[in-house]
Chain A
Amino acid sequence: AQTVTQSQPEMSVQEAETVTLSCTYDTSESNYYLFWYKQPPSRQMILVIRQEAYKQQNATENRFSVNFQKAAKSFSLKISDSQLGDTAMYFCAFMKHSYTGANSKLTFGKGITLSVRP
C-alpha cells in the first residue's frame, strides 16, 4: 500500500516571498503520478500541479514548481511570489499507474495549511 506524508501541519509566508511545502511518499511502484491540490476556504479542491514519475524534468505551472526526487521519494511544492489568494490547505497525492486503467485512486496526505500574510 502507498502512503503519503506531509509532516508540516501549518506554514506561514509573507506576501511576495517564496515558500516550499514538503511531501514524502512510500511505494514499491516504479511508475506513478504525483499531484498537489489546493483547497481554499471555499473547500473546492483545485489541481495545482502534476508530475509523472517517469519524467526527470520537474513540472512547473506559472508560480508553482515541484522538486521531485524519485530516489528519496520526495515531492515538494515551491510557490514563488506568494499571493494572498494562495492561502489554502495544500494536499499532496499519489496515484499508481495501472496498465489496465483500473483502480486509479488517489492516496492523499493529511494536508498543510498555508497562510499568506499581507
Chain B
Amino acid sequence: DGGITQSPKYLFRKEGQNVTLSCEQNLNHDAMYWYRQDPGQGLRLIYYSQIVNDFQKGDIAEGYSVSREKKESFPLTVTSAQKNPTAFYLCASSIGGLAQETQYFGPGTRLLVL
C-alpha cells in the first residue's frame, strides 16, 4: 500500500531534550511538509522540502530542524529551543515540481512535554 507513515504515534519530551519525529512516504513524491496543529489554530507550516538535500523554513520554524537525505524520509527534530512543543504534528507530501498537486497527510504524532 502506498502512503505516509509517521512514528511514533505519541512522544514524550523532557525539559532540555531534543526529540525526532519520523515521516516516511512510499508515494514517490518529491515534496514533503511538516505542519503543527494546536487547538483552535488550524495547521501551521514548520518546514518544507521540494527536493532531496533542500528544505525551506515555513511560518514557525524556530526551535525545529529537519533533514532531507532521502526522497522517502523527512524527519523533524524538536529542539530544546522550542519552548512550547506540546502539539499535534502532521507530515504531508505531494508530487511537487510544477504540478501544484494536492498534499496528502500522514496520521500524525502527538508530542507531550513531561
Q: In the complex, A91→B43 CA distance in Å?
A: 9
Question: Are A108 and B31 within 8 A (Cβ)?
Answer: no
A106/B45 contact (C-beta < 8 A), A42-B107, A50-B102, A97-B100 known: yes
- With a cutoff of 8 Å between Cβ atoms, the chain B residues found around residue A108 in the complex are 42-44
**Chain A: which residue is nearest B31 at the CB level?**
A104
- With a cutoff of 8 Å between Cβ atoms, the chain A residues found around residue B88 in the complex are 43
Mark out the residues of chain A between 32 and 88 whose CB falls within 8 Å of any chain B CB in the assembled complex. 33, 35, 37, 42-47, 50
**Chain A: which residue is nearest B42 at the CB level?**
A108
- With a cutoff of 8 Å between Cβ atoms, the chain B residues found around residue A35 in the complex are 102
| Interface of chain A: mostly helix, strand, loop or mixed | loop
Mark out the residues of chain B between 82 and 114 whose CB falls within 8 Å of any chain A CB in the assembled complex. 88, 90, 92, 94, 96-100, 102-105, 107-108
Interface size class of B (residues with CB under 8 A): 20 to 34
Question: Are A47 and B104 within 8 A (Cβ)?
Answer: yes
Of B41, B99, B100, B104, chain A has the most CB atoms within 10 Å of the CB of B100
- With a cutoff of 8 Å between Cβ atoms, the chain B residues found around residue A102 in the complex are 50
- With a cutoff of 8 Å between Cβ atoms, the chain B residues found around residue A44 in the complex are 105, 107-108
Return the contact of A98 from the options B58, B100, B103 (Cβ within 8 A): B100
Q: In the complex, A46→B106 CA distance in Å?
A: 9
- With a cutoff of 8 Å between Cβ atoms, the chain B residues found around residue A98 in the complex are 100
Return the contact of B56 from the options A4, A100, A103 (Cβ within 8 A): A103
| Interface: B40 (CB within 8 A) | yes
A101/B96 contact (C-beta < 8 A), A44-B108, A47-B102 known: yes
Question: Are A101 and B107 within 8 A (Cβ)?
Answer: no
Question: Are A43 and B103 within 8 A (Cβ)?
Answer: no
Can you list 15 A-B contacts with CB-CB less than 8 angstroms, sorted by A residue number? A42-B107, A43-B107, A44-B108, A45-B90, A45-B92, A47-B104, A50-B102, A91-B42, A102-B50, A104-B50, A104-B96, A105-B48, A106-B35, A110-B40, A110-B41
